[in-house]
Copies of this chain bind each other. A is one copy, B any other.
């Protein structure tokens, strides 16, 4: 296994991903064989912002492996969260736990944590940047249901501008080819151009469209997301347009019999209640798959990296180097300068934004 920390879904090699899928499948099939695999292990869940669902999923995963869980879920109640540097918190928690799950509203926080942790770190969301176990959940569900990541026609529908989930999943498909991807949204909620470029370069067909109804018949997979009311310019605009992006049984009449309907959940109005009972809807199974893929991840990290390492001593940074005000490097000023080459330019390794000159 080639990663000690899971910060980004793209850290996972094809070989490791195949191993994770196999393990998750076996756990789903024979959960009773895994009930003591992490016995005597303790996982810390450091949630600097509340995310009940994600935390429940990680907690359940560890408990079902026979391990135990400590942590906090509310920054206001946490003396750990205020005043103390992230580095100090991580060093102390490393003394308590065998594996750490971190969620933090600041971009790059999980990567920063991994620099100082003596135990494996899993990123459970760093602001609007990454949420790799959600992407793992989605990719795992797709391969279970469709058996492949190529030659698929996929519709992404809803708020494509702001959804971290869709961005990550779309980026994951840039590693595969011969897919036809429809991005369905209002003009204001289009997918960012850099992701469109990434996908086009990788040998997938891309269509940017307005209507769900016109294209639904072509889809193997339909990935729905929430549109928050406040994303529309006015209430009138919301009422006029939101219906176009609501999935109901009427629209589904034109869809394929083996369409796979996905949603990262929670959902509200964007899927009509009756669609839940359509056998093509797999979003609740998708949520359950998230449990099994997290169990597989935790188990492999504990098995392969179940010992403490001493992180290196990093030099203090000489200057601000990241252009992004929400980057952890601009909040925790001791963090070492970390810059990576990316195509034509340089990116901050914490948050993947452009660096300052």
Tell me whether A79 is interfacial, beta carbon within 8 Å. yes
Inter-subunit contact B53/A284 (CB<8 Å): no
Inter-subunit contact B96/A60 (CB<8 Å): yes
Binds B, one of A193-201, A203-211, A265-273: A265-273
Inter-subunit contact A63/B42 (CB<8 Å): yes
Inter-subunit contact A92/B284 (CB<8 Å): yes
With A42-B64, A291-B95 known to touch, is A52 a contact of B72 (CB < 8 Å)?
yes
Q: Bound state CA distance, A88 and B283, in angstroms?
A: 10
A-B residue pairs, 7 tightest by C-beta:
A95-B288, A84-B266, A63-B68, A60-B96, A35-B40, A52-B78, A52-B80
Q: Bound state CA distance, A96 and B92, in angstroms?
A: 30
Q: Bound state CA distance, A80 and B50, in angstroms?
A: 10
Contacts of A79 in B (CB 8 A): 50-53, 266
Inter-subunit contact B284/A57 (CB<8 Å): no
Contact for A266 among B32, B40, B83, CB less than 8 A:
B83
Chain B nearest CB, measured from A82 CB (Å): 9
Contacts of A240 in B (CB 8 A): none
Tell me whether A143 is interfacial, beta carbon within 8 Å. no
Inter-subunit contact B40/A291 (CB<8 Å): no
Q: Bound state CA distance, A52 and B96, in angstroms?
A: 13
Contact residues of A between 288 and 330, Cβ < 8 Å to B: 288, 291, 313, 316
Inter-subunit contact A274/B316 (CB<8 Å): yes
Tell me whether A56 is interfacial, beta carbon within 8 Å. yes
With A40-B32, A78-B52 known to touch, is A273 a contact of B316 (CB < 8 Å)?
yes
Contacts of A68 in B (CB 8 A): 63
Q: Bound state CA distance, A284 and B89, in angstroms?
A: 10
Contact residues of A between 21 and 75, Cβ < 8 Å to B: 32, 35, 39-40, 42, 44, 50-53, 56-57, 59-60, 63-64, 66, 68, 70-74
Contacts of A53 in B (CB 8 A): 79-80, 92
Q: Bound state CA distance, A280 and B98, in angstroms?
A: 25
Sample of 6 A–B contacts (CB below 8 Å): A53-B92, A85-B273, A92-B265, A92-B288, A95-B287, A95-B291
With A35-B40, A68-B63, A313-B277 known to touch, is A80 a contact of B266 (CB < 8 Å)?
yes
Can you name 18 extra interface pairs (CB under 8 A) apart from A51-B79, A92-B284, A277-B313? Answer: A32-B40, A40-B64, A42-B63, A50-B77, A50-B79, A52-B78, A52-B79, A52-B80, A52-B81, A56-B71, A56-B93, A60-B97, A63-B70, A84-B267, A84-B268, A88-B267, A91-B284, A92-B288
Chain B nearest CB, measured from A155 CB (Å): 22
Contacts of A87 in B (CB 8 A): 276
Tell me whether A3 is interfacial, beta carbon within 8 Å. no
